[in-house]
Amino acid sequence: MSKILITGGAGFIGSTLANYYSENHNVIVVDDLSMGNKQNLTSSKNIEFVKGSVTNKQLMQNILIDNQFDYIFHLAAVASVADSVERPLATHEVNFDSVLQLLELIKKYQKELKRLVFSSSAAVYGDEPTLPKQEESIIRPLTPYAIDKFAAEKYVVDYYHLYDVPTSAVRFFNVYGPKQNPESPYSGVISIMMDRYKKLLNNEQSMFTLFGDGTQSRDFVFIEDVVQALNLIANSQDTLGEVYNIGTGEAIGLNELVSTIDSFLEVKLPIQYEDERSGDIKHSLADIAKVKAVGYQPKYDIKSGLEKYVSYEL
Ligand code: UD2
């Protein structure tokens, strides 16, 4: 049984990973519940929940002194790009300072660690239009969120090269699936759509706001494939000090996404079109050759992923 720390472990990706690992391992979750929800976690006796922020140095130090971890997944973040533009200092503390602090604590207290996996984002590529994005593509971070993610992933990788701290970083593309919180306007678009479909099916008033003309496209990756990729990366020696895109290698436009779900559910989602969101990129698509070389094979394309999500949620 390994011991695993998951920061942000009550959030969408973190809780799915925590529940997965808790079947066979001991998991400690640290989460301040700013976006996450404790109910996302199964009541497994293998999960210990600690409410607190990764910016709390004393808390993190105590956890890393009291436990020797095999794996640490640092997923805690202010995940909203817009929030980082509104509050660059506050989000920098969470999205950057906590990472550097964690690296230092690991260097000092975690001699047995097999891997730290840090969650970066496709946001680091910015609006440079060449597709698909390879890990070596041009990096053009445009927001405090993207700048922090890029700086943090650089530190993470550097700690392997400089101090032998076993690390890897991943750049998530558009992750979707059960437990993604639809509450904020900057929540993942599929979680917002799903919420509107639910309302529609319950005969409540429902309207989906589509920003732009719906021709924008994204590489949407189903949460189970994300768990698969994280697990492979954490357990391979080839991934030490490396950064990986996590997507499917295929993109779909928003209009097509809506019509796909419409036809599954045999309804028509009411859409109101509004101006494009400022700062939005038009198209995003991952080249996943690098993570495939570690053994990753996405099990879900957008249709089968949506089908599973719909069957779970609706
Ligand atoms: C994703 C990440 C973000 C960052 C960025 C990097 C999510 C949730 N966000 O942002 O953290 O890494 O990629 O490029 O994965 N939309 C609507 N209606 C809505 C909500 C969204 O039309 O109610 C549109 C939105 O304008 C955009 C598309 O849907 O064109 C996807 O939006 P998103 O917020 O799900 O994700 P994205 O790609 O902006």
Ligand 1 atom nearest 123 alpha carbon: 6
Q: How far is the CA of 145 from the centre of ligand 1 (A)?
A: 13
Q: How far is the CA of 209 from the centre of ligand 1 (A)?
A: 12
Domain assignment present for 291: no
The reply to whether 189 and 273 lie within a common domain is yes
Low-confidence residues in the chain, pLDDT < 70: none
Q: Which of 135, 12, 33, 122 is nearest to 75 (CA)?
A: 12
Q: How far is the CA of 281 from the centre of ligand 1 (A)?
A: 9
Which domain range does residue 202 map to? 175-219+249-286+299-313
Residues near 57 by beta carbon (within 8 Å), at least 6 away in sequence:
101
Domain assignment present for 292: no
Domain assignment present for 210: yes
The reply to whether 242 and 254 lie within a common domain is no
Domain assignment present for 234: yes
pLDDT the model gives residue 280: 87
Domain assignment present for 293: no
Total domains, the chain: 2
Token pair of 260 as six digits: 């796909």
Q: Which of 85, 21, 31 is nearest to 55 (CA)?
A: 31
The reply to whether 303 and 203 lie within a common domain is yes
Residues near 162 by beta carbon (within 8 Å), at least 6 away in sequence:
none
The reply to whether 268 and 147 lie within a common domain is no
Cβ of 210 closer than 6 Å to ligand 1, yes or no, is yes
The reply to whether 165 and 184 lie within a common domain is no
CATH number of the domain to which 124 belongs: 3.40.50.720
The reply to whether 9 and 58 lie within a common domain is yes
Q: How far is the CA of 121 from the centre of ligand 1 (A)?
A: 12
Ligand 1 atom nearest 172 alpha carbon: 12
Token pair of 239 as six digits: 């991934």
C-alpha to C-alpha distances, 28 to 34, 59, 275, nearest whole angstrom: 18, 13, 43
Q: How far is the CA of 188 from the centre of ligand 1 (A)?
A: 6
Q: Which of 168, 186, 125, 175 is nearest to 150 (CA)?
A: 125
Q: Which helix (H) or strand (E) holds 262?
A: helix 254-265
**Nearest residue CA, atom 14 of ligand 1?**
123
The reply to whether 64 and 186 lie within a common domain is no
Cβ of 121 closer than 6 Å to ligand 1, yes or no, is yes
The reply to whether 95 and 194 lie within a common domain is no
CATH number of the domain to which 211 belongs: 3.90.25.10
Q: Give one DSSP letter per residue of 48-113, joined into a string.
A: EEEE--TT-HHHHHHHHHH---SEEEE------HHHHHH-HHHHHIIIIIHHHHHHHHHHHH-TT-
The reply to whether 62 and 109 lie within a common domain is yes
Cβ of 149 closer than 6 Å to ligand 1, yes or no, is no
Q: Which of 231, 196, 184 is nearest to 73 (CA)?
A: 231
Site to probe by mutation for ligand 1, drawn from 133, 170, 174, 283 as the one with most ligand atoms within 8 Å of Cβ, is 174
Domain assignment present for 113: yes
Site to probe by mutation for ligand 1, drawn from 153, 215, 246, 277 as the one with most ligand atoms within 8 Å of Cβ, is 277
Token pair of 177 as six digits: 């699936």
The reply to whether 117 and 210 lie within a common domain is no
**Nearest residue CA, atom 5 of ligand 1?**
123
- Which amino acid is present at 161? H
The reply to whether 151 and 203 lie within a common domain is no
Is 145 considered catalytic here?
Answer: yes
pLDDT the model gives residue 73: 99
d(CA 189, CA 230): 23
Domain assignment present for 294: no
Domain assignment present for 38: yes
The reply to whether 139 and 11 lie within a common domain is yes
**Nearest residue CA, atom 29 of ligand 1?**
189
Catalytic-labelled residue, pool 125, 145, 155, 160 = 145
Q: Across-strand partners of 5? A: 28, 72
